[in-house]
Amino acid sequence: MQELKNRIKQLMEENVAQRALGWKKGEFGYDAQAAFFESTDELDDFVYNGFCGANLSKYMIEACKKEGRTIICLKPCDTYSFNQLLKEHRIQREKAYIIGVGCKGTLDISKIKANGIEGIVDIEGADMFSSENLLKIKTVYGDHELAYSDALLERCNCCKGKEHMIFDEIIGESADTVSADRFEQIEKIEQLTSIEKFEFFRNELSKCIRCNACRNACPACNCRKCVFDSDKFDSAQKANSDSFEEKMFHIIRAFHVAGRCTDCGECSRVCPQNIPLHLFNRKFIKDINMLYGDFSAGSNCEENCPLTSYSFDDAEPGKI
Amino acid sequence: MKKINLNKLKELFAYISEKSSLFLPIESANSINFGMYDEKAKVRLDVLKTSKSPKDLFFPQSETLYSCQSAKGKISIEPQALQNDEFVVFGMKNCDFAALEILDKVFLSEPVDTFYKARRDNATIVTLACARPSESCFCKAYGIDCAQGAGDVSAWIIGEYFYWCANTQKGVALLEKTAHLFEDADEADVESAKAQIRDIVAKMPLMSLDLKNWGKGKTAEKFDSPLWDELYKPCLACGTCTFVCPTCQCYDIKDYKAGEKVVRYRCWDSCMYSDFTMMAHGNNRTSQMQRFRQRFMHKLVYFPDNNDGVFSCTGCGRCVDKCPASLNIVKVIKAFDKEA
């Protein structure tokens, strides 16, 4: 991490960029937050470890409104979102200096706490650039150890790959984290009867409190004003006025980001009610792959998206 | 003081729920929240914090206020019935109970909110001591004791037993109704448990949070601080903090059109949202910095200004646990302390 910090400092001192977008340490070692570093002095609090799950791509929209260039730290999967935002003209390439940061998977604090680990005061071993696979967790109730690889977010267990799709330079090594098939759970749900599927999603979506964290964290949800924030429709943005709306909101959102969602998993990571929202998006990704051939949103800035381009070979409704 | 073996709690729940609705922490679809008891419910009294606070048992996320029906050129108005059935809330933590007392200041002062009052009047609240407080808890900073609940009934889980004693008339009534299931216990049994909890509290990192720089009359000092400009930046402008918070009480009133019928309902609002307090002339807070500042100034300055110095936060720490950007009231308080 020190190497990364030093390099950012150097780039700022050499005036390559005017600020940096990275992560800042929190209170307990697991609550790092996204942060703009406007001066090299502020970099004292800079951190990059397994708890830096936040995808910074979307913050680039704000960074583009500022004077000069911004250094942005992107993990491999974050670069897909960055490309997608470029493609949608929401950010400008020349406003960013991209440091592709190595990644050995991001950590899920709820998974750690689900092991009965509470009262955490410090966590050692979360460093991204160390080859150690051991988290040493200090708590008020005693110390615990847990394998780093056992505490990964679901998205990291079925990682798309550790290659940065866009960067100016790369710092740090990445390590493979794949231990599950990305579409396994989707296939399981596809096997359910329609009644069982409905039950499954009703149970999950009935937990929704309409806090909109999924939407606001989502790099694909980058409309200047969301339709659900408009007061010109009957749809309410902050409460489910009926049980239909509670499902509708997430389904509409999934349709809206279909073909643009890079499966970064931020929606599920931020949900305060643990709703596995990524399942909707992944189903669409699977279907798009099946209907139009393998496609990975954000793998580059040039390729047309199957859903926004037309060819005579396109699948026809009812003729699959 | 009475006690009951933990394996007989199910009997207690069945008995209470026969006479009145019983709400307690229930696990459903991988999330734990207060819900209504039935025999299939997966009760999770062992869990420190429910995902959402139990405030929606008194102030639901959305509720109908009245409905209008149009028929044959005439409009009739149907008032919404108040919730007049008695119910029991079991296993509320003392921070959440303290939060209800804050909501009382808002909803029970004139003009009294009749919907809220009906629920408050009809609820019997069993507060359960926190056996294992977490690092995100800071109730003590507000003078709240998580070892001794202040509800109608105070309860503890110690070893194999569940202990309780009544604090109010409603509490006495609940204990009398269920007396046949309990055996007598010694007060001293819970004293050591309380001492143990207080020892743990003393070690938790946020419990000693200092609020001396906040409270009444701090508006001029805090409002224009350049720190807000820095602090708000990672904020995603979602409403997670406000919706999981036990003291956030802002709501919006809307109409829902359903054919010939119009339902007027109210729902929780969030100062994080762009249309919060939208008025005919537009919105008086146009940037996310202003909205972010509003939330913390309300909890730490404006509310104390209007309520004899009482803060509108009880240190439950849900915002600390749940904020997708890992921002929270503690970071705000500490950032200002550092500056001072």
pLDDT in tens, B233-277: 999 999 999 999 999 999 999 888 877 889 899 999 999 988 888
Q: Which of A144, A171, A198 is the last residue of a domain?
A: A171
Could B31 and A273 be called an inter-chain contact, meaning their C-beta atoms sit closer than 8 Å? yes
Q: Are residues B96 and B160 in the same domain?
A: yes
Structural domain includes residue A43? yes
User: What type of residue is A207?
Assistant: K
Q: Is residue A134 one of the residues assigned to a domain?
A: yes
Note whether A26 and A132 are same-domain residues. Answer: yes
Nearest to B62 among A207, A239, A272 (CB): A239
pLDDT digits (tens, 9 = 90+) for A265-320: 999 999 999 999 999 999 999 999 999 999 999 999 888 889 988 888 888 877 66
**Tens-place pLDDT, residues A310-320:** 888 888 877 66
CA of A202: which chain B residue's CA is closest?
Answer: B29
Cα angle A99-A102-A107, degrees, rounded to a multiple of 5: 120
pLDDT, chain B, mean: 95
The answer to whether residues B177 and B297 belong to one domain is: no
Residue B110 lies in a domain: yes
Helices assigned H by DSSP within B204-250: 219-223, 227-231, 240-244
User: Domain tally for chain B?
Assistant: 2
| A214 and A158 fall within a common domain | no
Same structural domain, A39 and A138:
yes
Q: Are B128 and B187 within one domain? A: yes
Task: Identify which of B264, B134, B225 has the alpha carbon closest to the alpha carbon of residue A141.
Answer: B134
The residue with greater pLDDT, A162 or B340, is: A162
Structural domain contains residue A310: no
**What CATH number is attached to the domain comprising A217?**
1.10.1060
- Model confidence at A236, in pLDDT bands (50, 70, 90)? low
In this prediction, residue B339 carries a pLDDT of 84
Percent of chain B scored above 70 by pLDDT? 100
- What's the rounded mean pLDDT across residues A21-38? 95
In this structure, the answer to whether residues B138 and B225 fall within a common structural domain is no
Between the alpha carbon of residue A143 and those of residues A131, A315, B74, the distances in Å are 21, 57, 71
- B210 located within any domain: no
Tell me the pTM: 0.94
A158 within a domain of the structure (yes/no): yes
What average pLDDT does the structure give for chain A? 93
- Comparing CB atoms, the residue among B204, B324, B326 nearest residue A26 is B326
Give mean pLDDT, residues A238-256. Answer: 78
Place of tokens 């939208």: B278
Is A306 a domain residue?
A: no
User: What ipTM, to 2 d.p.?
Assistant: 0.92
Quote the domain boundaries for residue B130. 2-61+82-203
Same domain, B10 and B147: yes
Q: Are residues B229 and B190 in the same domain?
A: no
Q: Rounded to 5 degrees, what are φ and ψ at A309?
A: -130, 165
Report CA-CA distances (Å) from A89 to A93, A225, A297, B197. 9, 16, 15, 55
Output the pLDDT for position B221.
94
Give the burial class of A139: count Cβ atoms within 10 A of its Cβ; 0-12 exposed, 13-18 middle, 19 or more buried.
Answer: buried
Residue A37 lies in a domain: yes
Q: Are residues A115 and A147 in the same domain?
A: yes
Same domain as A207, residue A126? no
Asked if B135 and A119 come within 8 Å (Cβ–Cβ), the reply is: yes
Residues B194 and B279 grouped into a single domain: no
Asked if residue A81 belongs to a domain, the reply is yes
Closest residue by Cα to residue B133 from B150, B117, B145: B145
Q: Are residues A136 and A28 in the same domain?
A: yes
Q: What is the longest distance spanned by two Cα atoms in chain A?
A: 65
Q: Is residue A178 part of a domain?
A: no
Question: Would B102 be classed as within a structural domain?
Answer: yes
Residues A130 and A225 placed together within one structural domain of the fold? no
**Nearest residue to A256 (alpha-carbon basis) of A215, A202, A200, A197:** A215
Q: A50 lies in which domain range?
A: 2-171
Nearest beta carbon to residue B240 from set A229, A272, A275: A272
Residue-wise pLDDT tens digits, B63-77: 999 999 988 889 999
Shared domain check, A192 and A58: no
- For B22, B148, B309, B312, B334, the CA distances from B329, given in Å and listed in that order, are 32, 25, 17, 11, 9
Residue B11 has pLDDT above 70, yes or no: yes
Tell me: do A163 and A204 sit in the same domain: no
CB atoms inside a 10 Å sphere around CB B167:
16
Dihedrals phi, psi of B236, to nearest 5 degrees: -85, -5
Hey, of B46, B135, B197, which one would you mutate to test binding to chain A, going by the most A CBs within 10 A of its CB? B135
